[in-house]
Amino acid sequence: MKPLLRVENLTKIYPGSGIIKRYPVKALDNISFTVEEGDIFGLVGESGSGKTTLARCILFLEPPTSGKVYYGNLCLNDVAWYQWKKLRSRMQIIFQDPNSALNPRLPIRRSLEEGLINLGYSRKQRNDTIRKLLDQVGIPYNQVDWYPYEFSGGQKQRIIIARALSMNPKFIVLDEPVSNLDVSIQAGIINLLMDLKKEFNLTYIFISHDLDLIAYLSTKIGVLKGGQLVEVGKAEEVLTHPLHPYTRFLLENPLSFHSRIQPWETLSKETI
C-alpha cells in the first residue's frame, strides 16, 4: 500500500509562560511514523503525552517547531497559505467534545452547509448533499433546522462526522471522538465510523487514551509517552509482542474491562 501521510522528526516546543524566566515545554520530541492508505493508525497515550498536539501539528493547525509532514508526495511545510483552503478539505479533524464543536446559534443546516458553500455548491446541490450525509450518519433529515442544543451528545457527534464527510476527505484525524459520550452510545459511533471508512475508503488517525478501543479498531498502533513515540508498529505485533515496558504496562492494566487479574493478585505486590 502506498503511504498517505509521513511524519518525519516532528518536534514541537512551546515557549512556556512566566514573567521572570520561561521554561520551554517540549510537547513532541522527534516523532516519525507513516500512515498508509486505508490504515487506522491508533495513537494511545495519557493526558499530557502530546496526543492532541500531534494531531494539530499533522494538520498544521499549529506549525511544528521542526520536522516535516508529507501528505502523499506533498510536503505540507512548503504549502503556501492560499493553497491550504483547497487542501483542508482533504483532511478533516473531529474533536472530543461535540458540544463545543457546533455553533450553538446556528441550526445544524447552516453548520453543515458552510463548507459546501466554500466549494461553490448551489442551493439544491447543498440540500441533496446534506440529506444524503444525514441519512448516512443516522440523523433524520426533518431535524435539519434544529439547533445543536436539541440533540444529544451522540447525535451531535454524528452531525460533526457528517460535516467532516461533506468535504470528501481522504483522511480524518479523530481526537478522542467517543470519550465524552455515554458508554451505550459509544459503540454506535464506532460502528458508524467503521462503516464510513469502508464506504468512502478513508484513512483514520484515531487518538484515544483507551487501549481497549485502540486495540479493537487499529491496524497500526503508536504509543505516546511524554511527547515521545515509544513504540509503533502493526497492531497485532504491538498487542502480542509489546517491546517497550510502558506498552506492556498499558496492556496489563488490571482496570481494563477484559483483564482477569484479581485485586488480591496485585495488591500484595504493588506498593501503595
Partner 1 sequence: MGTEVLLEIKDLSVEFTAHQRRIPAVRGIDLTILPGQFHALVGESGAGKTVTSLSILRLLPPNVTSLRGSIKFNDHDLLQLSEEVMRNLRGREISMIFQEPAKYLNPSLKAGVQVMESIRYHMGYSEKAARERVCELFEKVGLSDPELAIDRYPHEFSVGMKQRVMIAMAISCNPSLLIADEPTTSLDVGVQRQIIHLLLDLQRSSKMAILYITHDLGIVRYAADVISIMYAGKIIESAPKDLLFTSPLHPYTRLLLASIPSREKRGTRLQGIPGTVPNPEDIPPGCAFHPRCPLAQQKCKENVPPLVRIEAGHRCACFFPGKELRSNP
Using CB under 8 A, list all residues that contact partner 1. 46-47, 152, 154-155, 182-188, 190-191, 194, 209, 211-213, 215-217, 235, 239, 249-250, 253-259, 261-263, 266-267, 270, 272
> Between the CA atoms of 233, 205, 119 and 147, what dihedral angle is there, to the nearest 10 degrees?
170
Q: Could you give the 3-state DSSP secondary structure of residue 182?
A: coil
Smallest distance from partner 1 to CB 48, Å: 8
Nearer to partner 1, 2 or 198 (CB): 198
Q: How far is the CB of 47 from partner 1 (least distance, A)?
A: 6
Q: Are 176 and 208 in contact (CB under 8 A)?
A: yes
Using alpha carbons, list the distances in angstroms from residue 137 to 70, 103, 146, 160, 195. Answer: 30, 19, 16, 10, 10
CA angle (172, 177, 183) in 5-degree steps: 150
Closest to partner 1 by CB, 25 vs 87, is 25
- We find the least distance from the C-beta atom of residue 102 to partner 1, in angstroms, to be 17
Min dist. Cβ of residue 155 to partner 1 (A): 7
Which of 46, 62, 18, 41 has its CA nearest to residue 203? 41
User: Which residue's CB is nearer to partner 1, number 124 or number 198?
Assistant: 198
Nearer to partner 1, 77 or 219 (CB): 219
Which one, 18 or 120, has the nearer CB to partner 1?
18
Shortest approach of partner 1 to residue 254 CB, angstroms? 6
